[in-house]
Amino acid sequence: MRNFNKRAWVLRALCAGFVVGLFCLFASPAYAVDNPDSITIGDSYVFRDVLEDGDWLVFVRYDVNYGSVPDDYASECFYMALLDGDGDVLGGTHFQRELEYYQHNIRSIYLTASQVTEASLTWESEYKLRVSGFASKFDPLVEGTNMKTTTLTSSNYYEGSELGGVMLSQAQILEDDWGITLLTNGLLNVTGQAYFVEAVPDLASMDSSIFSTAIAQMEVDDTYLDMDTEYSDALVDNKGPILGGAIEDLAGTFRVSETWASIWLVAMLSLTFSGIVFAATKDTGMAMMVGVPIAVGAAYMGIGGTDMFATVASIAIVAAVLFGIHFILGRFAA
């Protein structure tokens, strides 16, 4: 009895410890990220009419500076947001976007024309742009410590036609700071394109002229493209006006091209006669070979024109190959 009570006491103690541990785990705040050494906003811009009339692109160059980068992803810890003049969050998740990287980098928010209209945003108004840590990661949020807010003025607003020049200027700033070549001959190279398209999705559609591209023109020998169709065109006269009219009527009835009507006609003829031959001989090889003279005859009569001439020739070749396979396998099986 004593051993049983001891084991029961140990079991209850372990259960109690487990419950307390769970309570501490879920009840304790999830603050696990140190404040950055500094947090600043370099340049900020608002462009309009970049993809459609009335849309906005909010762009920021920021620096969430850490001497030792946290293990948590930047997207889990920091974000940029467009706020109203009082610093209150505008309604809708589209006014906020997580940062992708710590340190010196760029990010943007794109607002469609309908989103701009729904929020009653006014061009050149003194909205606020903020780069901040999430409240779930930092306690407390302090301006200048883990949050930076700037007020937009009329000088921050640009027309969409000026987007490309500003992006190239920003690329030059980042290139000088990072020591990475982002520009080639004054345009975004492959590396620069990767960074800027990640920060500004659809940038290539907004202004493709800022990307450095290499286009190689392949030389094509067009000798083989100049095919002589005189013979195949002459075969069209062989089908005569009656058959030709019937094919045209068939194509008109089913609203398809004359070529497709011809293919259907030849296929039906091949299946019909192949069925008759197979019923009489019980030989699949012979049944398949019936399609060859029908295809050749259709080609000779120019049914379907030049396109059909090539099609029926292919049918004849395929039928001959299938017959050969059937013949050889039949002999080995025997």
How far is the C-alpha of 332 from the C-alpha of 60, rounded, in Å? 77
Could you read off the pLDDT tens digit of each residue along the chain, which spans 334 residues?
Answer: 444 455 444 445 444 454 444 444 444 444 578 999 999 999 999 999 999 999 999 999 999 999 999 999 999 999 999 999 888 888 778 999 999 999 999 999 999 999 999 999 999 999 999 999 999 999 899 999 999 999 999 999 999 999 999 999 999 999 999 999 999 999 999 999 999 999 999 999 999 999 997 444 456 555 555 555 565 556 556 656 666 667 777 666 766 666 777 777 777 777 787 778 778 887 776 776 666 677 667 766 666 555 555 666 666 666 666 666 666 666 665 5
How far is the C-alpha of 80 from the C-alpha of 96, rounded, in Å? 6
38 Cβ contact partners less than 8 Å away, ≥ 6 residues apart: 63, 65
pTM of the predicted model over 0.75: no
Domains, the chain, ranges and CATH? 38-210 (2.60.40.150), 230-333 (no CATH)
How far is the C-alpha of 62 from the C-alpha of 130, rounded, in Å? 10
In the block, residue with structure tokens 């039906």: 268
Mind giving me the DSSP string for 180-198?
---EETTEE-HHHHHHHHH
Size (the chain), residues:
334
Structure tokens at 308: 């059909």
Q: Is the dihedral angle over the CA atoms 84, 88, 91, 94 positive or is it negative?
A: positive
User: Is beta strand 157-159 parallel, antiparallel or unpaired with respect to 96-98?
Assistant: unpaired
Query: Do 147 and 61 contact (CB within 8 A), yes or no?
Result: no
